[in-house]
């Protein structure tokens, strides 16, 4: 039985801003892009959340919900410094650390000797050290696997902790919405709801073979997850090769105009993930992926240090011309340089076809 801790710093970017500028602690605060540039909220503090402001929300909508919202642009240098300080604390307890983003990581403390080997006490001590040494707060989930630990870390936010012992997993998982499971996005959640499945308890009633026939490999994973099972190990840090988002549409997008109309939504999702997960290094290439209605697929990419909506729109227009037919899936993303030495100024536009 593993001992897994999932640590998630509370409203990380906003927390760093409030730490460095105490006057911001009591006002609605968000970190994100400007509304005039189709920006998105990366994160916000809890006073802002009281108005309904949320991460990944368009900044323009956030300002309508909260006209007094204080909006600050991201300062990645300070956020990286805070992240490094947090990760140095992690390293005092285990070498099995799997970062998910600047502010979030899994820790396998199965063989740890600190705090008498107690995962619960280790999580408490880590959170206390983050509070005193870094000046921000973090929440933790403690469980026997990554799935339950990650869900549990969100249970008592902010500055909270949740422990799910092995004998409590069954009762913990049954009432959870299926949207909490790994791999279940908005489209899959809606598809499950149409099948009458909203909770893990309802999903448990479906035979494994039926889930596989309807959802493929994801179906096998859902069968295990809805029972609280997750055999994935905590993997030590490895170089990220790419970051992307994609969407499969319930109805095919009929033409290029319809595809371009979907770009703002994809961009907001991508920008949110890029701010959280990819801020440690610059991009090397931008790419667009298209899957046409007949499942033919094409990818168009270009050298690009700073991805923008305009870059993705041009890639999309060129990629669509290869098929010029209805589209069932769109994706946008970036590739990172293989080594830090590649992080240099590059020509903005050199396309490479990949049918």
Q: Are strands 41-44 and 29-32 parallel, antiparallel or unpaired?
A: antiparallel
Dist. CA 334–CA 225, nearest whole Å: 30
Output the CA torsion 317→318→323→326 (10° steps): -10
DSSP state letters, 115-166: GGG-HHHHHHHHHHHIIIIISS-EEEEEESSHHHHHHHHTTT-SS-EEE--G
Q: Which two tokens stand for residue 273?
A: 């993930």
DSSP letter at 232 equals P
DSSP state letters, 46-99: HHHHTTT--TT-BHHHHHHH-TT-EEE---HHHHHHHHHHHHHHHTTT-S-EEE
Dist. CA 215–CA 191, nearest whole Å: 10
Phi, psi angles (nearest 5°) of residue 82: -65, -40
Burial label, 327 (beta-carbon count in 10 A; 0-12, 13-18, 19+): buried
Output the CA torsion 95→101→103→105 (10° steps): -30
Asked whether residue 103 is marked as a ligand-binding residue, the answer is: yes
Write down the catalytic residue from 104, 202, 229, 338: 104
Tokens 């709801």, residue? 193
Active-site residue 281, yes or no?
no
- Alpha carbons within 13 angstroms on the beta-carbon side of residue 282 total 12
Q: Which residues are annotated as catalytic? A: 104
- Per the annotation, binding residues for Mg(2+) are 8, 103
- Per the annotation, binding residues are 8, 103
């Amino acid at each position: 039985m593993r001992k897994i801790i999932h640590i998630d710093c509370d409203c990380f970017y906003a927390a760093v801003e409030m730490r460095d500028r105490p006057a911001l602690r009591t006002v609605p605060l968000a970190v994100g892009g400007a509304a005039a540039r189709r920006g998105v909220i990366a994160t916000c503090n809890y006073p802002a959340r009281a108005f309904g402001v949320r991460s990944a929300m368009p900044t323009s909508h956030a300002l309508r919900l909260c006209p007094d919202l204080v909006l600050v642009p991201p300062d990645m240098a300070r956020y990286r410094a805070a992240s490094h300080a947090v990760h140095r604390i992690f390293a005092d307890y285990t070498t099995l650390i799997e970062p998910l983003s600047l502010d979030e990581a899994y820790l396998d403390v199965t063989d740890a000797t600190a705090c008498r080997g107690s995962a619960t006490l280790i999580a408490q001590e880590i959170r206390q050290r983050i509070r005193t040494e870094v000046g921000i707060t973090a929440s933790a989930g403690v469980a026997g696997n990554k799935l339950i630990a990650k869900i549990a870390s969100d249970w008592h936010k902010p500055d909270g902790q949740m422990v799910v012992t092995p004998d409590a997993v069954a009762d913990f998982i049954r009432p959870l919405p299926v949207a909490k499971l790994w791999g279940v996005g908005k489209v899959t959640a809606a598809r499950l709801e149409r099948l009458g499945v909203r909770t893990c308890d309802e999903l448990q009633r479906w035979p494994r073979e039926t889930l596989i026939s309807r959802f493929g490999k994801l179906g096998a994973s859902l069968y295990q997850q809805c029972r609280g099972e997750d055999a994935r190990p905590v993997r030590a840090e490895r170089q990220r090769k790419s970051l992307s988002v994609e969407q499969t549409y319930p109805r095919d997008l009929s033409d290029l105009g319809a595809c371009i109309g979907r770009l703002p939504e994809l961009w907001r999702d991508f920008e949110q993930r890029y701010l959280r997960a990819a801020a440690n290094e610059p991009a090397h290439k931008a790419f667009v992926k298209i899957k046409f209605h007949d499942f033919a697929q094409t990818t168009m990419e270009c050298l690009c240090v700073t991805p923008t909506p305009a870059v993705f729109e041009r890639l999309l227009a060129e990629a669509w011309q290869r098929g010029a037919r209805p589209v069932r899936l769109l994706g946008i993303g970036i590739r990172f340089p293989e080594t830090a030495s590649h992080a240099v100024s590059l020509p903005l536009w050199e396309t490479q076809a990949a049918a």
